[in-house]
Structure 1
Amino acid sequence: MKESGFKKIVYNCKKATFLIEKKQIGNLSMREKLELKIHLAGCSVCRIFVYQNIVINKLVYNLFNEPQVTKGFKLDDDFKKKMQVQIMEKLEEN
């Protein structure tokens, strides 16, 4: 039995999260906006995802676009080497 288009979006968090991401970086079609609105009306998990996604995107944007207090801060070469050794050891364990 074929599912109706309504059921496909109401019970499809994967598509909803795709539309949430797409909305953050561009525009949605009218159909996509409606589908997302219908899904979010009944899915509290995806509503939480919307807010989390907004916060994460803002943090990443700020990380790469705003002046950082730590500009000019560099790690000691010995510290970098120790970190690299630890990373390699962990990779070899797995």
Structure 2
Amino acid sequence: MSELKKIAYNCKKATYLIEKKLIGEITIREKLELKLHLAGCSICRTFERQSLIINQMVKVLFKDGQKHNLKLDNQFKTKLQQRLENELKK
């Protein structure tokens, strides 16, 4: 498979680059790879839009949460950690 096709059809890398771009900067090469992939992948374009919205909502939640001292209880944290570990083992 040519390098161009690898870039164009690698959704896993594209989602990684989308998240990396949202929290920081990506290189010029990564920008090009992502742009090329997004040009042909509607699923990753949707993921990018949804990820942006989720990140904005989380920022608002944390900003508002500081005013109200919102915290997750320990039981919820433990269950969430267990679920994450189980999913990663799959």
Give the TM-score of the pair, scaled to structure 2: 0.71
For 2:28, which of 27, 30, 50 is the aligned residue?
A: 30
Identity %, equivalent residues: 55
The 1-side partners of 2:46 and 2:66 are apart by: 29
The 2-side partners of 1:32 and 1:16 are apart by: 9
Shift of 1:10: 0.6
Deviations 1:7-60 (A, max 9, x none): 111110000000000000111101000000000000000000010000000011
Which residue is 1:61 aligned to? 59
Shift of 1:67: 6.0
- Structure 2 residue 49 is the aligned partner of structure 1 residue 51: yes
The 2-side partners of 1:72 and 1:43 are apart by: 41
**Structure number with bigger Rg:** 1
CA 1:38/1:72 → structure 2, altered by over 3 Å: closer, same or farther? closer
Aligned length: 74
Structure number having the greater helix percentage: 2
Shift of 1:68: 7.3
The 1-side partners of 2:40 and 2:69 are apart by: 48
Amino acid at match of 2:53: V
The Cα RMSD (Å) is: 2.5
CA 1:32/1:68 → structure 2, altered by over 3 Å: closer, same or farther? same
Which residue is 1:17 aligned to? 15
Give the TM-score of the pair, scaled to structure 1: 0.68
